[in-house]
Chain A
């Protein structure tokens, strides 16, 4: 059985290498029964379209962010400042975590099975200009491109930037020519992959915890034998477990790469700075986004997250 899997990063990036290893171990564990064929760099379409195509059974698998077009509640996955540390992130998004369980359910409603979560990084802000006061959340007049996701637009504003909605396809060019001065919504690894020539300053503001999901269409999953299904799940679980152990170092390595390879400045933010940003965003952004996803539904999850953090 050949399973076609899409992911969003170019060939030979960390995720691509890790997924190739995963595919190899699945092939080995199933005695060649399951052949996972990778399609890097969104060759099968951007993650929104890919998720919908998986949902209708037109594509088999993907490892990518959750797309909220079909269900706005999926925004819970990228809620800003939900986790503050890697340990917290694992309790929230890891197996059995509050957000993880909810996401499993939301995906299931779209006829999709979640095989694993893939922790990527804590997000930050990449700028092509200097930010003399990166810790401040006062308006700084710096225009940043934000993805078309409400939480990020509000987040940018709360942190003092001028958020500009520019389509991703034009984002790089827009930063390069100076239509905007930077980008928000990704992290060190993402900026290195897509914005490396226009990143001179990186603000590791821990804006959100970026987590991707390894998903498979229920139709493709059901077509596998019981034995292969179990093997695939096991391999995915161990893929995730391994990732949780290396992700934090991976993030540090990517931030270091911005400094070493690009000569970018990485702003120093203290724990107090981050806490101040977090509380401002929680106060200003959360209520609005909660309104969108359903206050009762969302608050219940946030309560669970808070309870787990104690």
Chain B
């Protein structure tokens, strides 16, 4: 049976490479299981549709919509200006602003696209004006944009928690440590890179100038800064579930976007609603069929067979972890984050548990790897969106992006795998 499962996965990869929309790629894999593997489809739709009814999935479109609204409305821009007040005048400071702003935006949006969509159009031209190469600025913001998936809330962690039956709040906290470390490493790399750029700097402000500017922008950014507090405070403070928090984020951002920051108008509001719903609709059919596929695998005990065949090769934890990180890197090159998680997490979790990696640490490992997939070519949706926003050729933006990935990202990926405390410290603190 494992041969047929592998054939199904091969068909999935082939159709995927041909550019077939993802739901049908999973459907093609289902056909292999059904026609060649003789696994029943009876009752599978029933099971799959019931999975879609889980309210936790509803958090995905809502967090995506909240992110889109904050990008459109000027909420994100006010956060950007606020962060800029602190470090904008330092040499290389504007690059740090990019990383930190994306992290703050990540505390509201659940998607990896919001950062680049929200601050790319403002910050890329500004950075270029100050002497940063345009392709570097684009690469930096696109890479930082990934923090939206690592700083909670995060749609990938919602999906991971859902398919593996792990606490979503614990998963949220698991990627926070690695996320902050990545923000830090991008900032440091940027300061180091900036020495080579011919930057135009503001005059260094006096302390009183600085504090009055921080206060002024702080007041303007206040309603925006309240958002992460409402969302994360609401969830961890025991007021609402993640799905409810996502709804509250939307409800809050609408009047704030329309009335306070005034960037939201009826036209872009409806456009944002349509975008979020279409994005989630495209995901849901993929989730439906991939869930059915993994249910077929469970039904045929494929995960256990995978574990035993891998253990037949090696049981060495370090070797296996390196192998899994390479596998996830390769998967991340060709598919998007959510797909990678529903495809891989249920298959590999038994293996991880067997070598003593907890589901929560595996959440972090999957989280950082699949988030990185958003900027690793050939399929690098976040990087390509960045190139479009920054009006740079994709081929130009890839070298600086790869530099940041290798120096800023990959070390954190390995730390997440080999230093459990990095991902488990915060969840433990909260009692998971």
Q: Do chains A and B touch in the complex (CB under 8 A)?
A: yes
Chain A 49-61, CB-CB to B under 8 Å as 1, else 0, gives: 1001100111100
The answer to whether A45 and B47 touch across the interface, beta carbons within 8 angstroms, is yes
The answer to whether B55 and A197 touch across the interface, beta carbons within 8 angstroms, is no
Residue of chain A at shortest CB distance from B59: A170
The answer to whether B169 and A177 touch across the interface, beta carbons within 8 angstroms, is yes
**From residue 29 to 57 of chain A, which have CB atoms closer than 8 A to chain B?**
39, 41, 43-46, 48-49, 52-53, 56-57
**B307 interfacial contact with A, CB 8 Å:** no
**A225 interfacial contact with B, CB 8 Å:** no
Bound CA–CA A129/B168 (angstroms): 23
The answer to whether A197 and B298 touch across the interface, beta carbons within 8 angstroms, is no
Bound CA–CA A309/B56 (angstroms): 44
Residue of chain A at shortest CB distance from B298: A43
Complex interface: chain B residues within 8 A of A4 (CB): 299
The answer to whether B50 and A173 touch across the interface, beta carbons within 8 angstroms, is no
Given the interface pairs A4-B299, A44-B295, the reply to whether A53 lies near B240 with Cβ below 8 Å is no
**Cross-chain contact of A167 among B44, B46, B55 (Cβ < 8 A):** B55
Residue among B50, B162, B239 with the most chain A CB within 10 A?
B50
Complex interface: chain B residues within 8 A of A52 (CB): 43, 46
Given the interface pairs A52-B43, A58-B42, A169-B162, the reply to whether A197 lies near B241 with Cβ below 8 Å is no
The answer to whether B239 and A179 touch across the interface, beta carbons within 8 angstroms, is yes
**Cross-chain contact of B40 among A58, A173, A197 (Cβ < 8 A):** A58
Measured CB to CB, the closest approach of chain A to B252, in angstroms, equals: 18
Bound CA–CA A169/B158 (angstroms): 11
The answer to whether A45 and B295 touch across the interface, beta carbons within 8 angstroms, is yes
Complex interface: chain A residues within 8 A of B44 (CB): 58
The answer to whether A49 and B42 touch across the interface, beta carbons within 8 angstroms, is no
Complex interface: chain A residues within 8 A of B162 (CB): 169
Complex interface: chain B residues within 8 A of A166 (CB): 241
The answer to whether B46 and A172 touch across the interface, beta carbons within 8 angstroms, is no
Measured CB to CB, the closest approach of chain A to B54, in angstroms, equals: 6
**B238 interfacial contact with A, CB 8 Å:** yes
**A105 interfacial contact with B, CB 8 Å:** no
The answer to whether A49 and B239 touch across the interface, beta carbons within 8 angstroms, is no
Bound CA–CA A41/B295 (angstroms): 14
Complex interface: chain B residues within 8 A of A174 (CB): 241
**Cross-chain contact of A170 among B42, B236, B243 (Cβ < 8 A):** B243
Residue of chain B at shortest CB distance from A37: B301
The answer to whether A170 and B56 touch across the interface, beta carbons within 8 angstroms, is yes
The answer to whether B50 and A56 touch across the interface, beta carbons within 8 angstroms, is no
Residue among A56, A59, A173, A174 with the most chain B CB within 10 A?
A173
Complex interface: chain A residues within 8 A of B15 (CB): none
**A176 interfacial contact with B, CB 8 Å:** yes
Bound CA–CA A52/B50 (angstroms): 11
**B242 interfacial contact with A, CB 8 Å:** yes
Measured CB to CB, the closest approach of chain A to B429, in angstroms, equals: 13
The answer to whether A176 and B47 touch across the interface, beta carbons within 8 angstroms, is no
**From residue 157 to 192 of chain A, which have CB atoms closer than 8 A to chain B?**
166-167, 169-170, 172-174, 176-179
The answer to whether A197 and B43 touch across the interface, beta carbons within 8 angstroms, is no
Residue among B54, B241, B298 with the most chain A CB within 10 A?
B241
**From residue 93 to 110 of chain B, which have CB atoms closer than 8 A to chain A?**
none
The answer to whether B42 and A177 touch across the interface, beta carbons within 8 angstroms, is no
Residue of chain B at shortest CB distance from A166: B241
The answer to whether A173 and B169 touch across the interface, beta carbons within 8 angstroms, is yes
Chain B 104-132, CB-CB to A under 8 Å as 1, else 0, gives: 00000000000000000000000000000
Residue of chain A at shortest CB distance from B301: A37
Complex interface: chain B residues within 8 A of A173 (CB): 167-169, 241-242
Complex interface: chain B residues within 8 A of A56 (CB): 42-43, 46
Complex interface: chain A residues within 8 A of B42 (CB): 53, 56-58
Measured CB to CB, the closest approach of chain A to B428, in angstroms, equals: 12
The answer to whether A177 and B54 touch across the interface, beta carbons within 8 angstroms, is no
The answer to whether A59 and B43 touch across the interface, beta carbons within 8 angstroms, is yes
Complex interface: chain A residues within 8 A of B430 (CB): 176
**Cross-chain contact of A53 among B43, B54, B165, B239 (Cβ < 8 A):** B43
The answer to whether A167 and B295 touch across the interface, beta carbons within 8 angstroms, is no
Given the interface pairs A4-B299, A169-B54, A173-B167, the reply to whether A58 lies near B238 with Cβ below 8 Å is no
Bound CA–CA A46/B44 (angstroms): 13
The answer to whether A179 and B295 touch across the interface, beta carbons within 8 angstroms, is no
Bound CA–CA A194/B168 (angstroms): 15
Bound CA–CA A174/B46 (angstroms): 28
Complex interface: chain B residues within 8 A of A53 (CB): 42-43, 46-47
Measured CB to CB, the closest approach of chain B to A4, in angstroms, equals: 7
**B19 interfacial contact with A, CB 8 Å:** no
Bound CA–CA A4/B295 (angstroms): 13
Bound CA–CA A173/B168 (angstroms): 8
Complex interface: chain B residues within 8 A of A43 (CB): 298
Bound CA–CA A59/B47 (angstroms): 11
Complex interface: chain B residues within 8 A of A58 (CB): 40, 42-44, 46
**From residue 131 to 189 of chain B, which have CB atoms closer than 8 A to chain A?**
162, 165, 167-169
Measured CB to CB, the closest approach of chain A to B298, in angstroms, equals: 5
Complex interface: chain B residues within 8 A of A57 (CB): 42-43
Bound CA–CA A43/B302 (angstroms): 13
Complex interface: chain B residues within 8 A of A177 (CB): 169, 235-238
The answer to whether A167 and B56 touch across the interface, beta carbons within 8 angstroms, is yes
**B356 interfacial contact with A, CB 8 Å:** no
**B431 interfacial contact with A, CB 8 Å:** yes
Bound CA–CA A58/B46 (angstroms): 10
Residue of chain B at shortest CB distance from A177: B238
Bound CA–CA A167/B162 (angstroms): 12
Complex interface: chain B residues within 8 A of A197 (CB): 431
Bound CA–CA A179/B239 (angstroms): 5
Bound CA–CA A202/B239 (angstroms): 23
Given the interface pairs A58-B44, A172-B167, A177-B235, the reply to whether A167 lies near B298 with Cβ below 8 Å is no
The answer to whether B167 and A45 touch across the interface, beta carbons within 8 angstroms, is no
The answer to whether A44 and B299 touch across the interface, beta carbons within 8 angstroms, is yes
Measured CB to CB, the closest approach of chain B to A180, in angstroms, equals: 9
Closest 10 pairs between A and B when the two form their complex, measured CB to CB: A178-B238, A58-B43, A53-B43, A177-B238, A58-B42, A49-B50, A170-B241, A45-B47, A49-B47, A173-B169
A44-B299, A53-B42, A167-B54 given. 18 additional CB < 8 A pairs? A4-B299, A41-B165, A45-B50, A45-B51, A48-B50, A53-B43, A53-B47, A58-B42, A58-B43, A59-B43, A169-B56, A170-B168, A170-B243, A173-B242, A176-B167, A177-B235, A177-B236, A179-B240
* A–B complex contacts, Cβ < 8 Å, 14 sampled: A4-B299, A45-B51, A52-B43, A52-B46, A58-B44, A58-B46, A169-B55, A169-B56, A169-B165, A170-B168, A170-B242, A173-B167, A176-B430, A179-B239
